[in-house]
Structure formats: structure tokens, C-alpha cells
Amino acid sequence: NAGVTQTPKFQVLKTGQSMTLQCAQDMNHNSMYWYRQDPGMGLRLIYYSASEGTTDKGEVPNGYNVSRLNKREFSLRLESAAPSQTSVYFCASSQRLGRWGSNQPQHFGDGTRLSIL
């Protein structure tokens, strides 16, 4: 049981390049999320998907787009990368419907470390 799988694990981009971060979960969860983690800050929500076919903005959505491809997969796209988007990106999923799954825990992937030069 892999849980939440993120690809790639590391990536270096030049300013202005685009890329897509992939996330897949095998726990049959309805809700999926994208976060970024920066030094000295708590995790911040970029986008989330409460269920297949729906997506919503989180706290820091600017510069990003998402696609909920099916129940298993939720991708994050940077259309024109900027140095301020250098960060560690985490994908998470949870069992219950709704934004946070009430009392259900979120399950996280191991992150994508993205550097933008």
C-alpha cells in the first residue's frame, strides 16, 4: 500500500519554465490537497479538491493551477515559474467528503523539492 505518491521528488527549473507536479493516492480518498512548505512557516494550502470534478483555491493559489484527473490523481501546474515558488510541495488526501474531512487525518506524500533559478 503506497499511500500518497508524488513525482518528481526533485526538480530544478529556470524562471519562466512550466511544469506539472503529479500526485496519486491509492486509499480511495475523496479529498485531495496541495500545500507548500517554506522555511520558518507552517504548511500553506494552495488548492484542494473536495471530490472528483471539483477544485477550490486555498490560501496561496496565485501562479498555480490544478487538475483533478480522476479520484486517484491530483496534479499541480506552474505555468511560468518564478523564484518565489521555490519550495517543498506536499500533496495530501483524506477519507471524508468536505474540505478537511472533519476528524479524519490527512495522509501526506513525501514532497517535491522544487528550485527555481
In this structure, which amino acid lies at residue 94? S
Interface residue with another protein among 45, 66, 76, 81 (CB under 8 A) is 45
Give the containing element (helix H, strand E) for 57.
Answer: strand 56-57
Contact in structure between 8 and 91 (CB atoms under 8 Å): no
Tell me if 108 contacts another protein by CB under 8 A.
yes
Nearer to another protein, 17 or 75 (CB): 75
In this structure, which amino acid lies at residue 12? V
Interface residue with another protein among 1, 14, 62, 105 (CB under 8 A) is 105
Interface residue with another protein among 1, 28, 62, 103 (CB under 8 A) is 103
Residue 95 DSSP label: S
- Specify burial of residue 61 (Cβ count, 10 A radius: 0-12, 13-18, 19+): middle
Interface residue with another protein among 23, 46, 66, 92 (CB under 8 A) is 92
> Which residues in this chain contact another protein in the complex, by CB under 8 A?
4, 40-45, 90, 92, 98-100, 102-103, 105-111
